[in-house]
Amino acid sequence: MPKPFLNRKFSAGDLMTDLLHLIKSRRSVRRYKEKAVSRETILQILDVARWAPTGGNLQPWRFVVVTDPRLKEEIGRGARFYFLKSHHVSEVPVLIVICGDTRKSDWYKIDCSLAGENLMIAAHALGLGSCWIGIYDEERVKEILNIPDHFAVVGLVTLGYPAEIPKPPPRLDLEEVTSLNSFTPGKASGLVSRSMKAGPLSVMGKVTGILLRPIGRILEKLKGSPRGG
Ligand SMILES: Cc1cc2nc3c(=O)[nH]c(=O)nc-3n(C[C@H](O)[C@H](O)[C@H](O)COP(=O)(O)O)c2cc1C
């Protein structure tokens, strides 16, 4: 995990290398230290979140910062999919609930998701860990936090000082997820040369993908068809 670097001086080359490394080394952290996160740090992170691009620059978001242990516990109760429970929701020092204004923009889901990535990268830059939480009881979260009807809960993000440095989960090969000038299924990327091909981790990636796909489909069905645009 890179050292917090926002206050360091950079040359242009350093900045680029560090930024690329920062993005690739961010991990979903699920165990946190009890150490509190200061209000300044939370605001610094949310300030970066709100610089994400939005359709028509409408910025249809609201970030609800939850630090009250009772509220985190209540929200955490609904953060489960059968036996898969995200315990870190109740245990983390800070929980950020990202809400999207469904009246303001049809793009609220995309806008809020982009803000979420900014948020997680900023947290990582400051030495904090985070994890996007997609499984939760939306109606219950809205009730607990008094979120108005026309706002949707797009995601939760756990935030705190990491008590673990997770190993990078594998990614699909570049050649499998890219193509040049037309959508070519399979491995005919046309962009990736042999030297860029991924190593043994790619096999793990495929196996994980195959195993997780049915769970993703079930989750989509349970959550219903997407609202808005
Ligand atoms: C839409 C979405 C939903 C997710 N939901 C959960 C969740 O409910 N609980 C959890 O622990 N992690 C969740 N994650 C984190 C993913 O498991 C994690 O990003 C993925 O395994 C890749 O690991 P990495 O973030 O360390 O690269 C979610 C991530 C996304 C983008």
The residue whose CA has the least distance to atom 10 of ligand 1 is 133
The whole-number pLDDT of residue 64 equals 98
Distance 54 CA to ligand 1 centre (A): 22
Distance between CA atoms of 57 and 119, rounded to whole angstroms? 18
Distance 29 CA to ligand 1 centre (A): 9
Closest atom, ligand 1, to C-alpha of 29: 26
Distance 20 CA to ligand 1 centre (A): 20
The CATH code of the domain at 28-166 is 3.40.109.10
The whole-number pLDDT of residue 194 equals 61
Domain ranges of the chain: 28-166, 168-229
The whole-number pLDDT of residue 81 equals 87
Distance between CA atoms of 120 and 48, rounded to whole angstroms? 10
> Which string of DSSP letters, residue by residue, matches the chain?
-PPP-TTS---HHHHHHHHHHHHHH--B---B-SPPPPHHHHHHHHHHHTTS--GGG---EEEEEE--HHHHHHHHHT-EETTEE-THHHHSSEEEEEEEETTT-TTHHHHHHHHHHHHHHHHHHTT-EEEEE--S-HHHHHHHHT--TTEEEEEEEEEE-BS--PPPPP---HHHH--SSS---TT--SS--GGG---THHHHHHHHHHHHHHHHHHHHHHH-SPP--
Q: Measured from the CB, is residue 148 less than 6 Å from ligand 1?
A: no
pTM of the model: 0.84
Q: Measured from the CB, is residue 132 less than 6 Å from ligand 1?
A: yes
Cβ neighbours around 96 below 10 Å, total: 26
* Tens digit of each residue's pLDDT, the chain (229 residues): 445 555 566 677 788 888 999 999 999 999 999 999 999 999 999 999 999 999 999 999 999 999 999 999 999 999 998 888 999 999 999 999 999 999 999 999 999 999 999 999 999 999 999 999 999 999 999 999 999 999 999 999 999 999 999 999 999 999 999 999 999 877 766 788 765 554 444 455 555 556 666 665 665 565 553 333 2
Indicate the residue type of 201: L
The residue whose CA has the least distance to atom 26 of ligand 1 is 27
To test the pocket of ligand 1, the residue of 131, 164, 172, 207 to mutate (highest count of ligand atoms within 8 Å of its CB) is: 131
Q: What Å distances lie between residue 14 and 10, 18, 21, 229, CA to CA?
A: 6, 6, 10, 39
Q: Measured from the CB, is residue 30 less than 6 Å from ligand 1?
A: yes
The residue whose CA has the least distance to atom 27 of ligand 1 is 27
